[in-house]
Amino acid sequence: MAALLAWQEITVGSGLMLSAASSIRVDPDMLVHQVQAAIDSVPDEQRNRFGNPSGDWTAITLLYKDQKGMPVPQPPLAHIPLLSDLLRDAGIDPFGLHITRQPPGVDLKWHFDHQALHLDICRLLLPVRVPAEAFTWIGHEKVAYPPGTLWTGDFALPHQVENQTDQERIVIAIDSPVTPAIQALFPADLYAHAEQRMALTQQAINALLPFRAQAH
């Protein structure tokens, strides 16, 4: 196994939970069928291609909120009633919903976001189609969750998503304010020790930034 990078080493021995599955599961076969129907409903030229040097599509918007804070569902969402039911039953009111696609052989390089259950916003992930060898680094931990399992992580920490396979990785990203209802879906350890988390996160970011500057 390759040695950990400087920003990964910072969470070693911290005792912090860095990711976890929620209590929510949906039928993975039904999910992939509905999501594929949503994808097929969107013409190729209308799909987002952000972050992919090859130009292949990487995201389809399902919902966003307008300037007045009102939800604006997009037509593809109607093809995924499993997702709509999940959000309603769990009391999740997202400000963003996307089908995300990581093409074969493409990694989402080390980055960090203001998204975690101890902060004010979070990103919940619902895997749809996940190659066996695709995974996410969060700090020093290498994680992967199966299709149909809603999960999240401390994405304020530097993280990298790797897909060095010959298959695409499809995940629904749910961006939402953090609420007690959402926190209750996950182990309390995933959002405990907020001050320690924020201190270690800043240390890790400080270690990552010089590396990113050199890479550019």
Q: Is residue 6 part of a domain?
A: no
The pLDDT of residue 149 is 98
183 band by pLDDT with thresholds 50, 70 and 90: very high
Q: Is residue 9 part of a domain?
A: no
For 93-128, what is each residue's pLDDT tens digit? Answer: 999 999 999 999 999 999 999 999 999 999 999 999
The pLDDT of residue 132 is 94
Residue 54 in this model has a pLDDT that exceeds 70:
no
Instruction: Record the pTM.
Output: 0.95
Sheet with strand 141-143: strands edge to edge: 108-111, 159-162, 135-138, 141-143
Question: What CATH number is attached to the domain comprising 125?
Answer: 2.60.120.330
The pLDDT of residue 216 is 60
Alpha-carbon distance 153 to 123, whole Å?
8
Structural domain total, the chain: 1
Alpha-carbon distance 40 to 139, whole Å?
36
65 band by pLDDT with thresholds 50, 70 and 90: very high
Residue 82 in this model has a pLDDT that exceeds 70:
yes
Q: Is residue 3 part of a domain?
A: no
The pLDDT of residue 214 is 80
For 207, the domain range is 16-215
The pLDDT of residue 32 is 98
* Residue 159 exposed, middle or buried by CB count within 10 Å (0-12, 13-18, 19+): buried
Q: Is residue 210 part of a domain?
A: yes
56 band by pLDDT with thresholds 50, 70 and 90: confident
Q: Is residue 209 part of a domain?
A: yes
Q: Is residue 1 part of a domain?
A: no
Mean pLDDT, the chain, whole residue set:
95
Residue 1 in this model has a pLDDT that exceeds 80:
no
